[in-house]
Copies of this chain bind each other. A is one copy, B any other.
Amino acid sequence: MLTERQGNILRIIVREYISQASPVGSVAIARRYGIGVSSATIRNEMARLEEGGYIIRPHISGGGIPSDKGYRYYVESLVQEEIPLNEQRMLSHQFHQVEQELAEWTRLAAALLARMVSNIAIVTSPKAMASRVKHVEMVTLQESLALLILLLQEAKLKQQLLTFDEVVSQEEMNAISRKLSDLFQDMTGAQVMAQSTGLSPVEEQVKSAVVQIMAEEDKRRYEEPYIEGIRHILAQPEFTHTQSVLCLMEMLESKDIARNLLPEILTEGGVWVIIGAENHEDALKECSMVITQYGVPGEVDGVLGVIGPRRMPYGRAISSVRYVSSLMSELVAELHTG
């Protein structure tokens, strides 16, 4: 529905606006990007673009800025961009530098992503569809106070303090640990709950704690995510004055992001770009997101992405998100196959 020239002009407008943050006019386009065509022609084409809803004029005279639809067209027309190889190597290197731990990787992914795109990055830690017990361990802290350590698949550690009515020695604890560890091995929460033969009162108490931890773990669809790069968004001109950034902050600090952000992602793979008002969440109507799932398909997954103003370097954001997601998927896969 757009002629090739209209498409080109729209792309120029989007690119220019993304980098300059101020409306772009026909003369500027004609001057800076020498298409063999005068400003008047560009004006005509821009009028069509406005009719079609691809651009908006914030002031009756004065350049146009992309509408959500315009951004959408731009994003669809992007050719897949790749992160330069040397940068890839650097990133991958950093993951191998750091402590070998899932939480550490997740945090690092958020930090790197934020820096790569100069925007807010958000990364949830990976989560299995149904968590399974890998190991159970009890350690006595005081006479009747013990720490339950529960290792789930994907090397996820959970801990909880337990107080017993009776005094239990570390010896007994060890025996219990071994017994329950063997018994519960690779079970889901439901399966653990079903185990009920021949357990002592203390063991019963441990069992119910395990069940509870796993139920909680399975309940929340996504973990509370790591969020990095808030500083970047405060530097963006569209957010310095308005208070829409306040809503955004509240949204980010409120704990139920996972629930709100991710309904549509769940269904399908690939990198999703959500632009402005396409967001269901009010606080995000002024923002765009580039997000994707990562992990082992059907087994364990997490979500990772970038949030910024609509005026976002989509090409770079998409390739960054895709690459970091592939890195994280690899790391998780290594852990999960165990």
- Residues of chain A having any CB pair with chain B under 8 Å: 99-101, 134-135, 137, 139-142, 145, 147, 149, 151, 155, 157, 159-161, 174, 178, 228-231, 234-235, 240-241, 243, 245-246, 249-250, 253, 334-335, 337-338
Contact = CB atoms under 8 A, between A and B. Distances in A.
Nearest to A139: B135
Nearest to A141: B338
Contacts of A157: 149, 157, 159
B141 A335 contact: yes
Contacts of A246: 231, 234-235
A232 to B, nearest CB: 9
Given A157-B157, A231-B249, A235-B246, 20 more contacts: A99-B160, A100-B161, A101-B159, A101-B160, A137-B137, A137-B149, A140-B338, A141-B155, A141-B338, A142-B337, A142-B338, A145-B334, A147-B151, A149-B151, A149-B157, A161-B335, A230-B230, A234-B234, A234-B249, A241-B241
Nearest to A137: B137
**For the complex formed by this chain, how many copies does it contain in all?**
2
A103 to B, nearest CB: 9
Nearest to A147: B155
Nearest to A337: B142
Contacts of A145: 334, 338
Task: Pick the most buried of A145, A230, A231, A337: most chain B CB atoms within 10 A of its CB.
Answer: A231
A139 B161 CA distance: 21
A179 to B, nearest CB: 12
Contacts of A338: 140-142, 145
Contact of A253 (B141, B229, B335): B229
Given A149-B157, A230-B230, A134 B142 contact: no
17 contacts: A99-B160, A100-B160, A101-B161, A137-B137, A137-B149, A139-B151, A140-B338, A141-B155, A141-B338, A145-B338, A157-B159, A228-B253, A229-B253, A231-B253, A234-B245, A234-B249, A240-B241
Nearest to A177: B137
- Return the 9 tightest CB-CB contacts between A and B, nearest first: A141-B338, A100-B161, A231-B249, A142-B338, A135-B139, A231-B250, A147-B155, A137-B137, A231-B253
A141 B142 CA distance: 30
A101 to B, nearest CB: 6
Nearest to A228: B253
Contacts of A337: 142
Nearest to A140: B338
Nearest to A142: B338
A253 B240 contact: no
A108 to B, nearest CB: 11
A240 B160 CA distance: 42
A120 to B, nearest CB: 11
Task: Pick the most buried of A147, A243, A246: most chain B CB atoms within 10 A of its CB.
Answer: A147
Nearest to A101: B159
A338 to B, nearest CB: 3
Contacts of A250: 231
Contacts of A100: 160-161
A129 B178 CA distance: 33
